[in-house]
Amino acid sequence: MRDGNLLSEGPGADSASKVEDSGVADGPRILNPQVAAYFHRDVDAFANCLEVKNGIHVVNYNGEKIDVLVADHGAPVTVVFFHGSMPRESKKPIFVGTNFSGDGIFNRVSVSDPTLVAVPGLKLSWYAGSDRQPRLQEVLRKILARVFASLGTPPERCVFFGSSGGGFAALQIGRYFDGSCSLAMNPQTSIGRFHKGPVEQYLKSSWDVDEPKDLPEHVEHDVIPAYSRKFRNTVLYIQNENDWMHVAYHQRPFFDSADSASAIWSLIRPWNDPKEMMGHTIPPKPVVKEILDKTVASVGDWDAAASSLGFVRR
């Protein structure tokens, strides 16, 4: 499995078919009719809703939609899944993590990157938004805070999980939730250091700019400066050592700059034959499942989980 396709995609079936429409008609996306769908007029309406029920929540933001799949299993820990690069023909919304059942283990929240719908033709947009949804990073934090409150999960029992571009989102968003865990696999740590083609396409089609430095100041396109200062979340950083580009341009600069007094753990292994030129691969699924299971089972003792899994404290 390469790049963002680390986990099976598609809506889960965690609740009966039901639609509650608060005034926003669905657009050219495909929602699973077996999953309850709840439509919210705007971000404030979602933030003030009485309860975040199981199902797909469609939140209107600047005329575009943000899709969030919520599965409440009454567990003490909640895991948020972010996807990475996806084929252009992928059905939207894209929900990864649905092949991890989570029943009785963790509550599952899967967020589909809305820029892949708002800006047709993109495969990757790092949950960093566009000129159609210019403060997406901030809005996603607000949406997730409401979900956590409804689930009864404090930030210190939340895990943000993603690979590649989804790993960037796990690092970027997780930092704002004190005590949480960002579990990132082969992540980009700076959008501008990724491959030139996808970066230029994203910048031009989403923001009509040529360089990351030209993005609005509030858009966080590089997490390294933020993590060079003291931070209050724990980072579990998984890196395939055969992925030379990510090692050289993302992992090493991140580790070299990160605040040494804060909690960063790394697991660096060769998970493929380097002769195959497939370095940007994640660990085998059983390994990923063990990492996630033990992290969740720690119920917030992220350091203990990391140590038991063979991670090294940086």
pLDDT at 175: 97
Q: Which of 10-24, 112-126, 292-306 has the lowest mean pLDDT?
A: 10-24
* CA–CA gap between residue 233 and residue 180 (Å, rounded): 5
pLDDT at 19: 43
Residue 57 inside a domain? The answer is no
State whether the Cα torsion 79-91-7-172 is positive or negative: negative
Residue 204 inside a domain? The answer is yes
Residue 233 inside a domain? The answer is yes
Residue 141 inside a domain? The answer is yes
Q: Which of 5-14, 126-135, 147-156 has the lowest mean pLDDT?
A: 5-14
pLDDT at 102: 54
Instruction: Give how many domains the chain has, as a whole number.
Output: 1
pLDDT at 21: 41
Range of the domain at 234: 71-313
CB-count burial class (<10 Å; 0-12, 13-18, 19+) for 266: middle
* CATH number reported for the structural domain that contains residue 129 in this entry: 3.40.50.1820
Residue 82 inside a domain? The answer is yes
pLDDT at 278: 61
HSE-up (13 A, CA, CB side) for residue 138: 9
* Section 236-260 average pLDDT: 94
* Section 243-265 average pLDDT: 94
Its pTM stands at: 0.90
Residue 117 inside a domain? The answer is yes
Do residues 77 and 107 touch, judged by C-beta distance below 8 A? Answer: yes
The pLDDT tens digits of the residues spanning 35-86 come to 999 999 999 999 999 999 999 999 999 999 999 999 999 999 999 999 999 9
Mean pLDDT for all residues in the chain: 89
* Section 260-279 average pLDDT: 80
* CA–CA gap between residue 140 and residue 122 (Å, rounded): 20
Residue 23 inside a domain? The answer is no
Residue 31 inside a domain? The answer is no
